[in-house]
A and B are shown apart, each in its own frame.
Chain A
């Protein structure tokens, strides 16, 4: 994970807020074409680095990728880390969003809730993060009730299911 973070942070530090949106779009574009075959080609030790770079240049031209993103991809290929691209994607996306003052939030509830309650949740998270939210609302009856909030690596489990699990743990440990 630290290896992934090193590359992600390197790109993030090279990108300023004005470029973040373009890099984010490039990230999404490249993710859609990053097939198993492409991954295999770019990771292959038989194919020369020059051929791999040529292919990346061609892709960059067709997808109109930002030069910084292209350089990032070249760096991953050069140091044999391109196979970790999928793992880097989420982290990179989060960092680029943060650069724009945005944060993705997964909000899970057990059933449809009133707009007013949903807004309360969003407001609470916005206050906690100090960022503009990109919320993803999910309905999962398995949580029984309450709300489950996931902001990047931080989880706030305020569900009835979570409460029951916690209760179970406390009884068994006690």
Chain B
């Protein structure tokens, strides 16, 4: 019983001595560890907020890129529309010019045909006149014609 009591007293004394000896270093150590943890936590939180900021910026950039892409598409569409109108106008002009040239060609062709017809008609008429004159012009009439011509020279 005495031994048991001695062991208990001994143990309590050991505990007290250990407590006395280790209290401050342990406390300091724990304080330090606590501080480290806080610091790491703060850093992690800072990192987290930085990452969140980066994510937000990235989202913003994506959004901006989408907006820019949409704007470019709209501009391109407008330009394409403008170009289309321009091409159509040019095509209309070309058609107009071609039409005019065609009309002129047709007019020329008609004029040429008229001239050819006139030529044929005149040629035929004059050939006929020549034939008639060859048959009917008497030597006396010819001499009269010569004399009249001579007076005009």
A interface residues with partner B (beta carbon < 8 Å): 109-114, 117, 120-121, 124, 128, 141, 144-147, 156, 158, 160-161, 164, 167-168, 171-172
Contact = CB atoms under 8 A, between A and B. Distances in A.
B6 interface: no
Interface of B: 115, 118-119, 122-123, 126, 129-130, 133-134, 137, 139, 141-143, 145-147, 149-150, 152-153
A121 B123 contact: no
Contact of B150 (A120, A145, A160): A120
27 contacts: A109-B142, A110-B137, A113-B146, A120-B147, A121-B146, A144-B130, A144-B133, A144-B134, A145-B133, A145-B145, A145-B146, A146-B142, A146-B145, A146-B146, A146-B149, A147-B150, A158-B146, A158-B149, A158-B152, A158-B153, A160-B137, A161-B130, A168-B123, A171-B122, A172-B115, A172-B119, A172-B122
Nearest to A167: B126
A125 B77 CA distance: 89
Contact of A117 (B118, B137, B141, B146): B146
A37 B43 CA distance: 123
A144 B138 CA distance: 11
Contacts, number: 65
Contacts of B139: 111-113
A111 B142 CA distance: 9
A50 B145 CA distance: 60
B123 to A, nearest CB: 7
A124 B153 contact: yes
B142 A145 contact: yes
A128 B145 CA distance: 20
Contacts of A167: 126
A141 B131 CA distance: 11
A144 B146 contact: no
A109 B146 contact: yes
Given A145-B141, A156-B153, A160-B133, 16 more contacts: A110-B142, A113-B146, A114-B143, A117-B147, A120-B146, A141-B134, A144-B133, A145-B137, A145-B142, A145-B145, A147-B146, A158-B146, A164-B130, A167-B126, A168-B122, A168-B123
B145 A117 contact: no
Nearest to B150: A124
Contacts of A109: 142, 146
A19 B65 CA distance: 111
Contacts of B146: 109, 113, 117, 120-121, 145-147, 158
B143 to A, nearest CB: 5
A146 B129 CA distance: 15
A171 B142 CA distance: 24
B150 A113 contact: no
Contacts of A158: 146, 149-150, 152-153
A147 B148 CA distance: 11
Nearest to B118: A172
Contacts of B118: 171-172
